[in-house]
Structure 1
Amino acid sequence: MVVASRRANLFRWLEIGAGVALAIMIVATWTAFAKTPDETQLLPTRQTSMLLVGTLIPAMALLVLLGRRLALRRAAGSTARMHVRLVFVFSIIAAVPTLLVATFAAILFQSGVDFWFSDSSRGLMDSANNLARGYYEQNQVDVSQETRAMAGDMLYLLRERAADDLANRDFLEDYNYQMQRREINESAILQAFPDGTVNTAVAIGLVEGNQPALAGEKALKKFADGAIEVVQANSMRVEAIIPIDREAGIYLYNARNNESLSFSQWEKATDVVARYQQLTERARALQLRFNLALFFVSLALVGFAVWFALRFADRQVEPLTNLVLAAGKVGAGNFALRIEGRTGADEIGLLNRAFNRMTAQLEAQTDDLMRANRELDERRAFIEAVLESMTAGIVSIDEDGTIQLMNTSARALLFDDASQDGRGRGFAEISPQIAGVMEQGGDRGIVTLNRGADLLTLAVRIAPATGGKVITFEDITRQLLDQRRAAWSDVARRIAHEIKNPLTPIQLATERLKRRYRTKVGDDAALFDELTSTIVRQVGALRKMVDEFSSFARLPKPVFRDENALDLVRQAVFLQEVAHQDIAFTFDTPEGEVPLSCDRHQFGQAMTNVLKNAVEAVEARAAEEGEGFAGKIAVSIAPGEDVVDICVTDNGVGLPADRDRIAEPYVTTREKGTGLGLAIVTKIVEEHGGEMSFAPAPDGGTQVILRFARTPEEPASEETPA
């Protein structure tokens, strides 16, 4: 179930569900409180409690899920489960009691509201309000009646006792007696004038701040409108103004103040009734506010619990988190890491100390291993350097013949592309010739193999090794060629020595016979001349052959001087162009000079031999194809940074089938050739630090490339045998 919930992302769906449920409950609560236009009507206790609980549950669930998400983020995945469990436990501990308390408070509040806003309570308040209003109105009526009766008495007193003097003592005593008998606290006789002003003629019991004249001026307007009496009340007193003698403009002002206990209690009752009426008018709004207060306070408590759980989880789990992170770093190779947190006697301290001891032991062991590995790496690097520096190819194979190791020389000898690596492949697949030597059971042998256009000769040795064999092979093609050249040089030297000595006496004897006996042979003179000329001509041919033998056998050591390669090549081409005008020569030259350190004579000899071979190849093809053939020889120079390449391209008969041997001594394709021309060129080029290569031309001819080093090394001095 846990795995399935993780795959289905259950908590995300729970968050979405809680959010949707919260939105639905908010809409339902708002609709329930706003659907009745009468604000004095309360919602039932059960309905409000269910709305509050139904809104709190998804809201608290969202807070708990948010705390889980924060716990996962703060733990960064290392101790997330423990964070989540602590947050969940604290959230449940806070949420369940908070939900119960909120439900109980809502029910209790609703019960109290139902009691205080019940019909009996409202009736009681209405009765109290009616009683207070009746007392208030009765008080006004009483003051009005007493004032009306007192006005009649005061008219009599004014006529009998105060006709001339209002300050008459007897009048004042009777006036005071009238007030006391009628429970009047303040009284005054007002005189109204035609201009609308009112003066106070006599006043008894007036308190500071009371101005009966102002009340009289206001009352005159009402009397003018036909009022018989004017009665008004405020928070301080109940006032009544009644005419004593309207024609004379005399009015009686009486006031009963509100200092009596009954009147103050009436005022408080009136205020309570008014406040209760206000509460009744806002009963449903207060009900909504209380539920909102419970809702947000409950959420605040759960949120505080989640926050406290996160802080508590961080504090309790932080040592474990640090330990997990440290273990990860140790797993990555940082064995010098030490935990600097709690190292006391509790479980965390014991764990930290054990971890530090473990890392210390790992560090010591790792240092030993690294030291041993460094020694092994140094030895391996030394062995690899030795193997890579060796010119011989070395291959290590296992018992199944699979290649385990190859050095650079082996890749260069076995593959056309030296960057290829044959490790993991069968050795018999790569070199069946060498594998054949192993199958025969020998430990050494000579094999030949083709690498592109070259034919290589390899000396192979096979040695047993642990779990396989080690095969070494070396390219002895050059060595065999040098041995062959040395042998041919020795042969040429001996032939030249043996043949050259009798040639001069033969030629001299033939010429002497021709001079002495030509006149004596008679009719056979023509035959005699032809025979002696043949002998002299053949002796010249033998002498030329001996000179070539001598040149090949005793090619002098080159003397290097700074020359311009363009001039040397141009001279060689010019000589051949003059001698063979039926062949089109082209010379592609770069701009400027091409400096080259070389032996001028040997460089010219090499160029002449190559150009003569090209001319002979073109003439041979011309003889085959007839007059329609046009011979072409193109010469170009390509100077490089360290070398100078000279390319001679012809459209002659092309390369022979065994073109790999055309540079060897005494190998020729012409009937009258000695096979020493290209051998001499090869020797000259090699002594100039270069090489000569052959390739077929695009139009069927031959392309010869002579590569000379710009600064060749001086050859070692050798004694030339006599």
Structure 2
Amino acid sequence: MKASAPQFGQRFGTSAPRWRRRLALWMRGPQAGLVYELGTLLLVLAMMGVAYATLNHAGAPQKLLTPVVVALLLVGTLVPAMGLLVLLARRIARARAERSPLGGRGQLHVRLVALFSAIAALPTLLVVIFASLLFQYGVQFWFSDRARVVLQNADKVAQTYVNEHSKRLADDNAAMAGDILRALNDARPDDPRWDSYFASQVFYRLLDQAAMIRVAKDGSEQLIWGANLDKRALEQRLSPAILPSLADDQPHTRVLRDRLESVLRFDKNTGTYLWVARNADPLVLAQAGRANSAINDYTQLLDRSRTWQFRFNLALFAGSLLIVAIAIWVALAVADRLVRPIGDLVGAARRVAGGDLSARVASSASHDEVGTLAAAFNRMTRRLQEQTGALENRRALTEAVLSGVSAGVIAVNAEGLVTIINPSANRLLHAEGRDPIGARLADIAPELAALMESSQREAVIQLAAGGEVRTLAVTIGRAGAGPESPHVLTFDDITQQLSDQRRAAWADVARRIAHEIKNPLTPIQLAAERLQRRYGRDIVDETGTFERLVSTIVRQVGDIRRMIDEFSGFARMPKPSFAEEPIVEIVRETLLLAEVANPHVTFSFDAPHPGPLIVCDRRQLGQAFTNIVKNGVEAIEGRLGDEPGGQIWLAMGWTAEGRLSLTVADNGVGLPAERERITEPYMTTRAKGTGLGLAIVEKIVEDHLGQMSFADREGGGAVVRLILDPAALAPLAGGEGAPPAERRIAAE
């Protein structure tokens, strides 16, 4: 048992915190607020039902409840009602906050509502309790037995006074009527002495007024005798409304403002009535009336005491809720007033975060903290806009500089990702068709990535891109001193520079060869031919060795002479003589010679009609076309030999920029791997080639301010494309060529 106790405690000790955590999470969830509101509403309804049932208890409806019970009922109903009001206000505050620029759950609104509600509710509760107790104790005093006895005694004294005088007046009226009846037995009613007799009755009985009135059947009244009568009409003394209620020998007495009146039916048969009046003190009669009214009002109030008790507490209840509601409304208004400028600040900050630096906050008229914050925010955004504008200008300047330089520039961050690349680098790396920003440098140019990882800061590398091998001079630096600072790679394409250097070197070699070797070739050839002529007939050689050796010397000397002539021609290219020529005719002449010399190759030419006229050197341009077609034929022979099936396609047309394009394609062996050196002197892939053909073509194209490019043909073979600009060549008509600098600029 001792061993299992810890397990039991541990088992149930771990589940309890989990339930508490779940309960805490649920209580903080959005569904808990609705449960709180419904629970508080049910509590309010229950307390209101208890209070109503207690105040309207059928056992003693006229008895007041004790002040403590009433205060407890009021507070017990008011506290949950205030809580419900605060919960509803919290929901409203959150809804308003969600529609505000701040968004969220409206914590500021909720806190202000709670604060103002507490500030308003606590004093209100104290005032309500004090007012309820004060009212209940006051009501309890005024509706106590002592107060009721005092009022009843005062009313009894007043009514006793009035009743006594009324009874005396009624007795005097009855006695006077009896005397008159006895006197009528001795004298007739029309006897003149009746007036004095009637007046004496009034005098001796201390009456102030008296009248004998006959009422006819039609309701009209007639005065028979009267004494001390005022000017009032008879109907005001003897109201027809009281006649049916008069019984025989039973006088009717009524109390007026300043007198008492009594009416007695004197003779039923004749409809005669005796009316008498005696003056009384108006103050006494008024006091008696007020005492009666007071006791009646007091009785009515006593009967409705529970109702008034309920109404007063209901008024306290409604007033308290109204005060709390006003406090909540003020809290919401204050929260809106506080949140509105803050919301404007948040909205402006979000706009700034989104890149809109022109966002401003309306300046507040009040010089409070929020106004100061808004002014500081506006100053900050204004400076940010100015600084960002300056940075944008610098960036635009930097981009313009980077776009204008011929060198490639790449910035790489610490992760090896490209962050900046200029158009020259895109062109050198053949990355125009994709966006290299954000890509890894190792994926774009592995050679540059490997160089960056090494300790070298300057190097010359070979970069294979776009099917070409380019020679780049690379310089690597850092944009900062920290280890996370980006690397900046700057590289120039020196392929053309190296080619020009090699070409210049070969031109110098060619001049030396032409000078040093060409001179002894002629004597050697002449000596060999003379040996053949002089000793060819004398030497008997059945095997023909002598003849074969001499022929070999002559043939090899001819080959050497031809090679020297090519070197000499390359080294001493004449300046072009420009004139307006039909370029289509130049191409057709070249094709005619090629078709005659190479019947196993099929040639086709697609040219515009009519053919354009351009300024050029007809002889040099024809030589360039001949060399290009000759290279195509040799490439086809290298692939097919003398077998048919070789084809060369020529097409001439205009580019979008208005330049003339000539494309020559073949189905030969294709371009070599080192195609960037294909135009260098002595660069050839054929056994007997000198490597000067394309070098001469490139020089001719450069002299004509044009461009030459090479590409692989789909399906095998090579494509050579020449671009000439007629507009740039037109000013050269009649001249001898453009300076080298101008040729370079025009070609670029």
TM-score range, shorter chain: 0.5 to 0.7
Aligned partners of 2:116 and 2:331 also within 8 Å: yes
Contact preservation (8 Å) 2:441, 2:449: no
CA distance in 1, matches of 2:184, 2:596: 176
**What amino acid does structure 2 have at the position aligned with 1:46?**
V
- 1:650-669 equivalences under 5 Å are 650-669=666-685
Residues 190, 216 of structure 1: 8 Å contact kept: no
Q: How does 1:514-533 map to 2 (within 5 A)?
A: none
Count of aligned pairs between the two proteins? 644
- C-alpha separation in 2, matches of 1:567 and 1:126: 147
Counterpart residue number, 1:200: 223
Q: 2:51 aligns with which of 23, 27, 32?
A: 32
Q: Does 1:479 align with 2:497?
A: yes
Going from structure 1 to structure 2, the CA distance change for 1:678 and 1:296 (only over 3 Å counts) comes to same
Once the two structures are TM-superposed, the CA of residue 271 in structure 1 deviates from its matched residue by 0.8
> Which residue, 699, 720, 732 being the options, matches 1:683?
699
CA RMSD of aligned residues (A): 7.0
User: Contact 2:452 / 2:476 at 8 angstroms: preserved in 1?
Assistant: no
Contact 1:557 1:715 in 2 (8 A): no
Q: Cα–Cα, structure 1 residues 309 and 613, in superposed 2: closer, same or farther, change >3 Å?
A: closer
- Which residue pairs with 2:212 in the alignment? 189
Aligned counterparts of 1:445 and 1:216: Cα–Cα separation in 2: 140
Letter in 2 for 1:553: A
Give the counterpart of 1:111 among 137, 142, 145.
Answer: 137
Instruction: Report the alpha carbon displacement of residue 199 of structure 1 after superposing the two structures with TM.
Output: 3.0
Q: What secondary structure, in the 3-state scheme, does the structure 1 residue paired with 2:65 have?
A: coil
Partner Cα distance (2:471, 2:237) in 1: 145
Is residue 2:468 matched to residue 1:454?
A: yes
The residue number in structure 2 matching 1:273 is 295
**From 293, 305, 311, the counterpart of 1:289:** 311
1:45 maps onto 2:61 in alignment: no
Q: Deviations over 1:42-72 (max 9, x none)?
A: 33422211123334556677899989x99xx
Is the alpha carbon distance of 1:478 and 1:222 closer, same or farther for their aligned partners in structure 2, counting shifts above 3 Å?
A: same
Quote the residue 1:523 is aligned against.
none
* Alignment partner, residue 520 of structure 1: none
Which of 706, 710, 729 does residue 694 from structure 1 map onto?
710
Distance 2:141 2:453 in 1: 114
Offset, 1:241:
3.8
Deviation at 1:662, TM superposition (A): 2.7
2: CA distance between counterparts of 1:247 and 1:378?
Answer: 130
Contact kept? 1:199, 1:213, Cα under 8 Å: no
* Aligned position for 1:613: 631
Could you give the per-residue CA deviations for residues 88-144 of structure 1, whole angstroms, max 9, x where no partner exists? Answer: 999878865654453233223223323333456556656766776777677666655
C-alpha separation in 2, matches of 1:28 and 1:123:
37
Distance apart, 1:704 and its partner CA: 2.2
Against the structure 1 CA distance between its residues 383 and 586, is the aligned structure 2 distance closer, same or farther, given a 3 Å change threshold? closer
Letter in structure 2 aligned against 1:248: T
Q: Give CA-to-partner distance per residue, 1:596-621, whole Å, 9 cap, x none.
A: 76556544543443344334434554
Tell me the amino acid that sits aligned with residue 104 of structure 1: F
Query: Is the contact made by 2:198 and 2:225 (CA closer than 8 Å) also made in structure 1?
Result: no
Q: Which residue of 2 aligns with 1:356?
A: none
Matching residue within 234, 237, 247 for 2:269: 247
Give the Cα separation in 2 of the matches to 1:600 and 1:182: 171
Secondary structure at the counterpart of residue 665 of structure 1: coil
- Measure the CA separation in 1 of the matches of 2:477 and 2:115: 73
Listed as ranges, the matches of 1:491-640 within 5 Å are 491-493=509-511, 548-549=566-567, 551-558=569-576, 583=602, 585=604, 587=606, 602-618=620-636, 620-623=638-641, 629=645, 631=647, 633=649, 635=651, 637=653, 639-640=655-656
The 8 Å contact of residues 649 and 702 in structure 1, kept in 2 or not, is answered as: yes
Q: Report the alpha carbon displacement of residue 563 of structure 1 after superposing the two structures with TM.
A: 7.8
Question: 1:58 and 1:194, CA in 2 relative to 1: closer, same or farther beyond 3 A?
Answer: closer
Q: CA deviation at 1:481?
A: 1.4
Give the distance between the partners of 2:267 and 2:62, measured in 1 at CA. 53
Task: Tell me the TM-score normalized by structure 1.
Answer: 0.63
Q: Secondary structure at the match of 2:498?
A: helix
Distance in 2 (CA, whole Å) between partners of 1:183 and 1:586 is 163
The DSSP-based 3-state class of the residue aligned with 1:698 is: coil
Cα shift at 1:268 = 1.1
In the superposition, the TM-score normalised over structure 2's length comes to: 0.61
What residue number does 1:525 align with? none
> Identity, % of aligned pairs?
39
The answer to whether the 8 A contact 2:670-2:712 is kept is yes
Shift of residue 208, structure 1, vs aligned partner: 5.4
Question: Which structure 1 residue ranges, 5 or more long, are not aligned?
Answer: 333-339, 343-347, 353-358, 372-376, 516-529
Map of 1:152 onto structure 2: 178
Q: How does 1:128-167 map to 2 (within 5 A)?
A: 143-156=169-182, 163-164=189-190
Structure 2 residue ranges without an equivalent (≥5): 1-23, 354-364, 534-547, 730-736, 742-748
CA distance in 1, matches of 2:298, 2:123: 34
Letter in 2 for 1:635: A
DSSP 3-state at the match of 1:102 = helix
For 2:70, the aligned partner's letter is T
